[in-house]
C-alpha cells in the first residue's frame, strides 16, 4: 500500500516542479542580464519582484496622499540643500555677496591640498579609531559582565543605560567642568601623575578630553546592543558551550563572539558615524570658537569654514567629500543590517 502510493504521490509533485521550472527560467535569465534599462522599467511599472504584501490596495490617488507629506519634506529639506551643496562646491562666492564665479574643481583641490585640512582629516581618523575601539570594548566588557551576574542585573542595566539619554552638548558642558583648569577633578588626577593638563590650550590635552567625553557618551549605546545580542543567544547553545569548553575565555572567544559578530559589525559602523558627526556638540563646547591650536573633526571644519570663515564654496566641497564617505558607510551598514536581521 504505502509503496504503491509513493510514486503516485510523487508524480504530481514532479509535475508541479516542472511547471514552476517553466515560469522560473525567464525570471532567472532576466535577473542575470538585468540591465539598467530593465531596472528602470521595473521602477516605472508597479511590478515588484517580490511584493511586500500579497494583497494590496489598487487606488490611483490615495497612496499619493499618504506619501506626499513625507515626500514634500524630503524634497524641500533634503534634496534641495544637497543639490545646492554640490553646485556651490564648484563656485567661489564673493565674500560680500556680489555673485559667484564658477571655478570647477578648484575648491576640492584647495581643500585636499591644504595642510590644515589634512591635519584635520588625520585627527578625525585617529579620533574615530580611538573612540570606536574604546567605546566598543568597554561596552562589550560591561555587557558580558552584566549578562553573567545573576544578582542586580536590572540595577546595573538601568544605571548603565540612563546615561544614553544625555545630550552630547550637556556631556560636553559637564566634561568641560571636569577638565576645568581651576577646579576640575580630572586635572587633579593628572597632576598626581605629574602631568599638567591644559585643555583648550594644549593640542593633545584637548584631544584627551574630547576622547574621554565621547567615549563616556557612547558606552551605553554599545552596552544596550551588546547586551540584547548576548541575551538572544539561545540557552541550549550556552549550555553546550559550557560542556565543551571549561575556560570562560575560550567559551567567549569560540562561541559567544562569533554569534555577536553581526551586532559588532553593525555597531562598528554606527560608532564611526557617531564619532564623525554626533561629536560635533562636544567639540563645539570644549573647543568653543578658539580653534587656534585645538584638534577638531572634519565636520567641525565644515561648520567653521562655512559659518565663521564665510568660505561657502570650500565648505561645500568639504561637505561633498564627507557625503561620499558617509554614504559609503551607510551602504556598508545596510549590508550588515540585512545580515543582522537574517542571523537574529
Partner 1 sequence: MQKIKPLDHLVLILGVLFLCVPVVMALMSSTHYPVDIHSNGLFLTPGDNGLATYTKVLTDRGGFTGDVTGLRMLMNSLIMGVGFAVGKIVLSMMAAYALVYFRFRFATILFWMIFTTLLLPLEVRIMPSYQVMSTLGLLNTYTGLIVPLLASATGTFFFRQFFKSVPDELLEAARIDGAGPWKFFIDVLVPLSKTMMAAIFIIMFIYGWNQYLWPLLMTTDEHFYTLMRGIKSILQVWVGSQIPDYNEAFALAVLAMLPPVAVVVIFQRMFIKGLTESDK
CB of 249 to partner 1, least distance (A): 13
Stretches 24-32, 99-107, 141-149, 252-260: which one binds partner 1 (CB under 8 A)? 141-149
CB of 67 to partner 1, least distance (A): 4
252 binds partner 1 (CB under 8 A): no
What does the alpha-carbon distance between residue 324 and residue 301 come to, in Å, rounded to a whole number? 16
41 binds partner 1 (CB under 8 A): no
166 binds partner 1 (CB under 8 A): yes
C-alpha cell at 150: 545573576
Write out the H or E segment, with its range, that includes residue 326.
Answer: helix 312-343
329 Cβ neighbours under 8 A, 6+ residues apart: 269, 272, 273
What character string, x for contact with partner 1 (CB under 8 A) and - otherwise, covers 174-193?
A: xxxxx---xxxx--x-----
Closest by Cα among 289, 117, 126, 116 to 208 = 126
CB of 12 to partner 1, least distance (A): 27
92 binds partner 1 (CB under 8 A): no
91 binds partner 1 (CB under 8 A): no
How many Cβ atoms from other residues are within 10 Å of residue 332's Cβ?
15
DSSP notation for 147-170? HH--TTHHHHHHHHHHGGGS-HHH
What does the alpha-carbon distance between residue 248 and residue 282 come to, in Å, rounded to a whole number? 38
What character string, x for contact with partner 1 (CB under 8 A) and - otherwise, covers 264-303?
A: --x---x--x---x--xx--xx--x----------x--xx
Closest to partner 1 by CB, 180 or 202: 180
Closest to partner 1 by CB, 95 or 248: 248
Amino acid at each position: 500500500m504505502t509503496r504503491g502510493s509513493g510514486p503516485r504521490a510523487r508524480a504530481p509533485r514532479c509535475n508541479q516542479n516542472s511547471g514552476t521550472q517553466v515560469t522560473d527560467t525567464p525570471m532567472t535569465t532576466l535577473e542575470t542580464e538585468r540591465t539598467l534599462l530593465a531596472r528602470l522599467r521595473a521602477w516605472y511599472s508597479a511590478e515588484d519582484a517580490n511584493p511586500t504584501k500579497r494583497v494590496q490596495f489598487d487606488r490611483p490617488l490615495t497612496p499619493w496622499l499618504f506619501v506626499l507629506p513625507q515626500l514634500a519634506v524630503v524634497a524641500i529639506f533634503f534634496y534641495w540643500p544637497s543639490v545646492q551643496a554640490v553646485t556651490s562646491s564648484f563656485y567661489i562666492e564673493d565674500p560680500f555677496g556680489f555673485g559667484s564665479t564658477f571655478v570647477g574643481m578648484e575648491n576640492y583641490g584647495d581643500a585636499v591640498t591644504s595642510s590644515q585640512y589634512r591635519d584635520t582629516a588625520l585627527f578625525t581618523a585617529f579620533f574615530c579609531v580611538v573612540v570606536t575601539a574604546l567605546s566598543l570594548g568597554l561596552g562589550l566588557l560591561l555587557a558580558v559582565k552584566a549578562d553573567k551576574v545573576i544578582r542586580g542585573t536590572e540595577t546595573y542595566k538601568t544605571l548603565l543605560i540612563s546615561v544614553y539619554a544625555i545630550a552630547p552638548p550637556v556631556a560636553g558642558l559637564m566634561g568641560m567642568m571636569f577638565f576645568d583648569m581651576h577646579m576640575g577633578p580630572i586635572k587633579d588626577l593628572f597632576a598626581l601623575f605629574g602631568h599638567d593638563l591644559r585643555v583648550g590650550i594644549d593640542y593633545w590635552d584637548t584631544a584627551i578630553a574630547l576622547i574621554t567625553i565621547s567615549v563616556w557618551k557612547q558606552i551605553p549605546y554599545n552596552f544596550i546592543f551588546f547586551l540584547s545580542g548576548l541575551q538572544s543567544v539561545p540557552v541550549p547553545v550556552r549550555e553546550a558551550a559550557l560542556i565543551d569548553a571549561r575556560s570562560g575565555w575560550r567559551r567567549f572567544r569560540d562561541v559567544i563572539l562569533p554569534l555577536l559578530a553581526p551586532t559588532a559589525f553593525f555597531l562598528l559602523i554606527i560608532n564611526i558615524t557617531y564619532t564623525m558627526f554626533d561629536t560635533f556638540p562636544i567639540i563645539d563646547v570644549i573647543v568653543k570658537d578658539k580653534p587656534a591650536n585645538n584638534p577638531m573633526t572634519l565636520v567641525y571644519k565644515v561648520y567653521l569654514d562655512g559659518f565663521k570663515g564665510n568660505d561657502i564654496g570650500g565648505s561645500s566641497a568639504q561637505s561633498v567629500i564627507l557625503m561620499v564617505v558617509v554614504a559609503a558607510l551607510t551602504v556598508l551598514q545596510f549590508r550588515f543590517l540585512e545580515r543582522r536581521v537574517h542571523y537574529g
